Chains A and B, each alone.
Chain A
Amino acid sequence: MADRRRSAKQGNEAPKDPKKAANAAFVAKNKPELEILFDRYRDSGHPEADDKKDVMQGKALQTLVADVDPTKGDLIIYILAWRLSCSHSLRILRAEWFHGLTQLKVGSQAKLKAFILSSMEDINNNPEEFEDFYYYLYDFVREDRTQLLKTETAVQTWQKVLRQRFRHLDDWCAFLQETAGDGEDLGVSRDVWRQLYDFSKNVPALDKHGADSAYPVVIDDFVEWALLKQTVKSSKP
């Protein structure tokens, strides 16, 4: 637990309306704490250069995870990033941190933890929330936003996020790894990312999937592959 240290910083702008007033008040009260939190996490990531002072990434994020709930792993980061609407992959900027947490009225570490855990509950119970979260993830985990999401990264993310929701998750990941091994890694497009979720929701049994479906070709290929595997398995004594 960190020591609380009060500083003399005040809110920056004069409030213009009640909401901003509330925000300002909140900021005034909690900014120091948030600042401290941010710095602490950032430092634990050992940023090398000065220009990385305002960015939380890498190990920093891991520390945050450890603080909140080590059992949930990267999911914590994803949820936080989603809620803060982080716009850069795999990192949280100081501005986003402040702005987002202020909006959400999260002022302390305890509140942060509570908030993240309740968000997790939220997405588990509310399919719309989960969809929003899931769609967001595509960009967040995509390191190079000029290209398609790398298959490897996608597989890892899916393992974390679709664990309970997609029956054929393991088969799917195995399939991707098998076929990615053949040629160049084409990557996973946004369409495939999204449609996979739809697929996991609407197509419980593989043989219900029609050949003329609107799902991307790679999903069709997967179904074919999986069905073939099933028949091979069942024909073996």
Chain B
Amino acid sequence: MQHGSGPNGEKQSKLEKGCHTLQKAFEEKVVAAVESGYRRPFTGADHMAMYTVVYDLCTECNLNNAINKAPDVLYSTYAEMVTKYLKERRIESTGMSADKLLRLVVQRWENHKMIVKTTVKVFGYLDRFHTKHTALDTTTDKGLKCFLTEIYSAVKVDLRGAIFEHIQREREGEVVERGLLRQAIGVFIDMGIGDDCYETKVYNVDFEAPFLTFTGNYYEREAKRWMAENSTTEYMKKAEQRLNEELQRAEAYLHRNSEKPLIRVVEQKLLETLLNLEETGFIALLQDNRLDDIARAYRLFSRIAKGVPPISRLMYEYVTSEGKQIVQKHSSSPELCYKAYTKDLLDIHQKYRSILKNQLNDDPIFAKSIKDAFEAFVNQPVQSHVKGAPPGTPTIKVSCSELISNYCDMLMKNAASKMDDDELENVLEQVVAIFGYINDKDHFQEFYRKQLSKRLLVSVVNDDCERSLISKLKMRQGAPYTSRLEGMLKDKNLSADWQAKFRNHLAAKKMTFGFDATMQVLTTGCWPSFQIFPLNVPAQAKAAIDEFATFYDSETQSRKLNWVHSLGTVTIEGVFNRQKFQLQMTTFQACVLLLFNHKDEYTGDELMKKLNLPWDEVKKALQSLAMGKYRILLKEVPESSKISKSVDGGDTFKINNEFTDKSRKLKIPTVVAKANLKHAQQVQQSVEDDRRHAIEACLVRIMKSRKLIEHPILVGECAAQLSNHFIADPRHIKRRIEELIAREYIERDADKPSLYRYLA
């Protein structure tokens, strides 16, 4: 170390000398070491020698406070050294084989990294102060950047091409050296010198973008080829396979940022073309029930942004058509069997529910299209021929509400004995699911109510089954829907209580009537309306009835009892030719017979007067007694009229004393008039009435809260509020609005007729 503020010349020469030393050391020691694979080691002593030079030069005291030029000079010397080194090792990449190029570049880069690493240790002192306080790159960065400028820029295009060639070969099925590719691509990544770990600027521009284009073109060609050669299912299989491959590839040797864009490009090229051609492919899968292929199709399509809606639309169309076929099948069958129809519905529902769950991953878009499809065909009425009508009579439309309600009826009647609990629960669940698709749920309620009342009053009922189904309906529709049904069940149980109380009461009063009287008390609102006839009851029965009425009055307040005799049953003991029979029949029939205790003969008209019933009821009773299976009565036709199969007012009746039968206990059948058609029409009628009230109530509710409202909004609101129970026709709503205007609940605004105002 020489002190002394000698003339600049001296200092410079010291600096020059130092630089020269470093240069030499660099070439002889560092480069040689690295390039020989450290066979010629770069020792600690070598290192120290170089480091000391740098250190001395940098820390030299400036007695006259001149700026020390040493760092600058050292820095540029360093840069020059490295650049020179690189220039001597240029790569002539044209014409070189891909493999060779890759290896060469990789090797160069690895070497360079080592060189820079080693050299930086020597020049490290510069990093402490010089590069920190100026805007210069650190020595590491500078060194690496030299590679970028000297070697990389020239070689990058060919390098890239070489990589692409390898990737192409791998895609075609060859096995390539993934490690090499990884390193080569690593070069691109590393060229983003100074980037933080999330950015890969150089890589993006120089490698990734072209790579994506390259991939895109490749798959575009592939897609065309496959389309021409393969069926859709094969295509899908291949597509899925390739997608998995590309994913692996990305993991193996691409930068992690590239994974998403790469998959995106492949999806776009392979799957979006598929979308255009998808017309019949998916439907074929559904037809053949190819579950795996359906699942695959779903997986593939769900990758693309708008992939799912088109095929869910196909699903909707297919399911709708399948459903409509079912309806068609049952329409054209000679006799409509609700059991078969419902079974078919349950089956198809089960099928698609399982596909949705297992193959379609409960995708909500698919769930919706299946639901829409079901709603479309479930609500189609089935054409049916009226039983026993001559051919050529027009068919009637039977709604699904009726059919499903019949099915429930059958379940309730037979279920307990035939199915075990779990099975029954399952079936009920499914039935309620189908119920959910019905638009006119109030129809269903009416049918079900009527059938429930019959079951409760006439046949034996399995309480658990009934409750189970009702609770399911309640969960689906809400309490108001099932409140009446629950009321009916409650009444049945309460009636049993009343019965017991009445018996105790009679016992206490020591009253008997000569027969066992059972009363059932029904709450009017819950049960369907029954016709009440002012029947003239025979004396014995009257006593019992009156007694019960007084008893009931004493136990309750402000309740009125109306006797529905049309529903009652009576067991009568009859003696024919000294043979005793126990005959079970309806109340009306019993009243007719009991009249014959007082007189031997009656005409039809007389009977009608005595009983105080309309002729239709009397006729039914007489027909069943005189012309049915058991001829209890004998009919005589007056001479003037013809012999007819039915009963007339002028006919005379008397007891058939010769009546006999093998069994002693008989049930007299009733004449069931054309129940079905009228029954359905009645239900229709009562539902229409209920709907009218529901619409009006809804309109008034809305008007009351809004006060002023525009016509279309009012109609929309009303329809929306009622949609859970039934689909309201806008015309009906309009009619109700006019009604309300006429009844002065609402008025039109004077200036704007489409605006309605609520009149308090």
Contact = CB atoms under 8 A, between A and B. Distances in A.
Contacts of B754: 213-214
Interface in B153-169: none
A191 B742 contact: yes
A217 interface: yes
B730 A191 contact: no
A195 interface: yes
A216 B731 contact: no
Chain A: interface size category: 10 to 19
Interface in A196-235: 198, 212-217, 220
A157 interface: no
A189 B753 contact: no
B310 interface: no
A196 to B, nearest CB: 11
Interface in A159-204: 189-192, 194-195, 198
Contacts of A212: 711-712, 715, 730
B739 to A, nearest CB: 9
B741 A214 contact: no
Given A195-B753, A212-B712, A217 B742 contact: no
Nearest to B734: A217
A213 B711 contact: yes
A214 B711 contact: yes
Contacts of B742: 189-191
Interface in A37-95: none
Q: From A191, A194, A195, name the one whose CB has the most chain B CB atoms within 10 angstroms.
A: A191
B430 to A, nearest CB: 38
Contacts of A217: 731, 734-735, 738
A189 B747 CA distance: 13
Q: From B730, B738, B748, name the one whose CB has the most chain A CB atoms within 10 angstroms.
A: B738
A189 B710 CA distance: 21
B753 A198 contact: yes
A215 B731 CA distance: 11
A192 B712 CA distance: 18
Nearest to A189: B742
A17 B184 CA distance: 116
A216 B753 contact: no
A217 B735 CA distance: 6
Interface string B182-204: 00000000000000000000000
A213 B738 CA distance: 13
A216 B715 contact: no
Contacts of B741: 189, 191
Contacts of A194: 748, 753
B748 A216 contact: no
Contacts of B734: 216-217, 220
A214 B730 contact: no
B738 A189 contact: yes
A197 B735 CA distance: 19
Given A191-B738, A217-B738, 13 more contacts: A189-B738, A189-B741, A190-B742, A191-B748, A195-B753, A198-B753, A212-B711, A214-B710, A214-B712, A214-B754, A215-B753, A217-B734, A217-B735
Interface of B: 710-712, 715, 730-731, 734-735, 738, 741-742, 748, 753-754
Enumerate the 6 nearest inter-chain pairs by beta-carbon distance, A residue then B residue, closest first: A214-B711, A214-B754, A191-B741, A217-B734, A198-B753, A212-B712
20 contacts: A189-B738, A189-B742, A191-B738, A191-B742, A192-B738, A194-B753, A195-B753, A198-B753, A212-B712, A212-B715, A212-B730, A214-B710, A214-B711, A214-B753, A214-B754, A216-B734, A217-B731, A217-B738, A220-B731, A220-B734
